[in-house]
Structure 1
Amino acid sequence: MNKPNLEQKVFLALLLVVSLAFAWILLPFYGAVFWAVILAILFGPMQRRLLKRFGGRPNLTALTTLLVSLLVAVLPVIIITALLVQEGATLYQRIESGDLNVGAYVEQFRAMLPNFVQHQLDRFGLNDLGSLRDRLSSGALAGSQFLATKAFSFGQGTFEFVVGFFVMLYLLFFFLRDGPELVARIRQAIPLSQNQKRKLFSKFTRVARATVKGNIVVAATQGALGGLIFWFLGIPSPLLWGVLMAFLSLLPAVGAGIIWTPVAIYYLLNDQVTQGVLLTLYGIFVIGLVDNILRPILVGKDTKMPDYVVLVSTLGGLSLFGLNGFVVGPLIAALFMSAWGLFTGPASAPSPLSAEMPVVPPTERPG
């Protein structure tokens, strides 16, 4: 038996085992590690610019970037989540006490429909709205109960949350400071040619950053605008509806319109023409145009993934990874498209993205 070949196989097996064991150890904090990596990718360009301004002081630069990311990205999410849980608990109490009757709104909506519309509903066998009313009532109660449960159980998971939060901040500091060195080591370990590794890393970094940033910013903007108009019109639980519009903005073509369109129709049928027209115009020309204006700026034509890929990968990620799948799904899709684009593309073609992610060798890192 060839002894060098055997040693190589044993070493590769050992490498695989210890890598899986290390991943298993990190599994309880996979969310903290994942978001530390995502924030490091998003705020990496800022860190490199600040490094030049601070005269090559990596610790100060990483700390400053960490504080900026904490104020811009982390704290707003924590505050909105706490307010959302509190609002969900209030909504659950209103539904359970009968103060908010979802079934009555369904019946009122049917009564306001024109006669010919009700005739068409009867013709297609959709005249029985009792089951729909019951499903909507039970669904609203279950959703608000879920948020209320989170409000009561948050105290039990406070320790895990605090530990995971500080693990994320701790890792983010070192990912920002030592990011180029870590990327260089990872690139060195991948058994591909230098040209392939450069293309793969550059393409994936650019697509991932643009896709994640585009999805999050567009969703947050549409949700904030939708919640603002709901608050202005006096609609109950505007924060809850705004968060729903933010998530539904990932659906191509319809998106947040699934939430505000029925409300606008309700206003129009209830002779509240001013509110209905205002909400319709606002939804079309303000909420609806955010995607067409912001997404090309944040994503760009050369890195934008198809809408159906974003939709399927996001829904699949949410079903597998929970809320983290909102970002995990599109990231995996970006890696998939980058790898297959590298495989099917011309091997000799020059990469226009080669300057996207400069690598600083460990010996040349400032400071």
Structure 2
Amino acid sequence: MKLRKHSKYFLFAFFVVLLIGAFLIVKPFIVAILTSVILGYIFFPVYAWINKKIKRPNVSALIMIFFILLIIFVPTLFFFNMLFSEATAWYSSYEATNVATFLENNFNIVLGEVAQDRVDDVLTQVQDYLFVEASSFVFSLPKKIISFVIMMFIIFFVFREGERVASEVKRSLPIEESHRARVFHKVESTINSLVYGEIAISILQGVVATVGFWLLGISSPVLWGSIVAIVALLPAIGPLVVWLPMAIVLFLQGDVFAGVGVTLFGGIILTLLLDIIVKPKVLGYKGHIHPIIILLGVLGGLSVFGLTGIVLGPVILVLLILVVEIYVKEGIR
């Protein structure tokens, strides 16, 4: 009996050591793994439809990988290339002397020597930061390529075996059946609300803003459209914080036509139609998430997981709240 008890402790300690070792092994690729799972979940209905037609799981999974590459990664590469080009051009046009000239010509504000030095310092810091980030990105390219290959490999198996693995995980959770159903339903509804609601509407607002700014002759439309997409994702902020200052600057510069155009386009299309009318209807259909959860989850998730954190952050917070609710109810019983 004593030996059996010691064996039990040894087995548990050995399991903890193996668990830590496994975590350290996969730690560099955690973001790639989580991204694979999320993409697999989002596109699984398409995979199921294709596999139902051809009844060959491996071929269906390969078709889906090419499909994801075609509609996500290739356009993303072009988009970031355009965004980088516009951001570089925009930054180059606003050196310290240009900023001083811009303020003096448009707002009748003359920068003193101290303010000019401060502007110089800020722009130098920005330039240094961008250089460090660019260098870091270049040096990390081999790791990013490996992570990308791993991600594609995992997506293949998520499509092929994800349904079976999800069923096994659901059966293995050491909680009551009703709680299991709640957990999985909460994960599903949260991801659906984020992907098909918040993120989809934010991307739509960004695309519409980019096209609108381009038609109105605004410089760097992709850059400003990207900013609109980001702020549209955050509750209580929305596109207003982008188009309103833009319109004010255009009016102060004397470009009344562009100022009126940005005001009408931003107020009617971006804010009234998309942000106030369309977005609540879509979120009401897909399931609503509390704005605080979205705000903290998106910002915190981005800082921890990168782009994948837009989905992972709110999902983790929602699950935490659900687990606390379950624990409280079980404790009361």
Question: Aligned equivalents of 2:248 and 2:112: distance in 1?
Answer: 18
Question: Contact 1:89/1:147 (CA < 8 Å) preserved in 2?
Answer: no
Q: Aligned pair in 2 of structure 1 residues 279, 38: CA closer, same or farther (>3 Å)?
A: same
Q: Aligned pair in 2 of structure 1 residues 223, 104: CA closer, same or farther (>3 Å)?
A: farther
Q: CA deviation at 1:341?
A: 5.1
Q: Which runs of 5+ in 1 are unaligned?
A: 113-126, 347-367
Aligned to 1:159: 142
Question: Contact 1:252/1:307 (CA < 8 Å) preserved in 2?
Answer: yes
Normalising by structure 2, we get a TM-score of 0.84
Q: CA deviation at 1:339?
A: 3.0
SS at structure 2 position matched to 1:254? coil
Deviates more, 1:3-12 or 1:74-83: 3-12
Question: Contact 1:32/1:164 (CA < 8 Å) preserved in 2?
Answer: yes
Normalising by structure 1, we get a TM-score of 0.77
Aligned to 1:227: 210
Pair 1:328 & 2:312 matched: yes
Q: Aligned pair in 2 of structure 1 residues 18, 319: CA closer, same or farther (>3 Å)?
A: same
Question: Which structure dedicates a bigger proportion of its chain to helix?
Answer: 2
**Cα shift readout 1:195-249 (whole Å, capped 9, x = no counterpart):** 3212211221221232134232222222222222222233322222222222111
Pair 1:196 & 2:195 matched: no
Q: CA deviation at 1:25?
A: 0.9
The equivalent position to 1:305 in structure 2, one of 289, 300, 306, is: 289
Aligned to 2:83: 84
Question: Aligned equivalents of 2:152 and 2:95: distance in 1?
Answer: 40
SS at structure 1 position matched to 2:93? helix
Aligned to 1:208: 191
Question: Aligned equivalents of 2:320 and 2:145: distance in 1?
Answer: 33
Q: Which runs of 5+ in 2 are unaligned?
A: none
Pair 1:21 & 2:25 matched: no
Aligned to 2:107: 110
Question: Aligned equivalents of 1:199 and 1:149: distance in 2?
Answer: 45
Q: Percent identity?
A: 29
Deviates more, 1:221-230 or 1:134-143: 134-143
Question: Aligned equivalents of 2:104 and 2:117: distance in 1?
Answer: 11
> Given residue 107 of structure 2, which amino acid in structure 1 is its aligned partner?
R
SS at structure 2 position matched to 1:249? helix
Aligned to 2:30: 30
Question: Contact 1:95/1:141 (CA < 8 Å) preserved in 2?
Answer: no
- Higher RCO, 1 or 2 (CA under 8 Å, sep at least 6)? 1
Question: Contact 1:88/1:144 (CA < 8 Å) preserved in 2?
Answer: no
Question: Contact 2:31/2:305 (CA < 8 Å) preserved in 1?
Answer: no
Aligned residues: 330
Question: Contact 2:29/2:147 (CA < 8 Å) preserved in 1?
Answer: yes
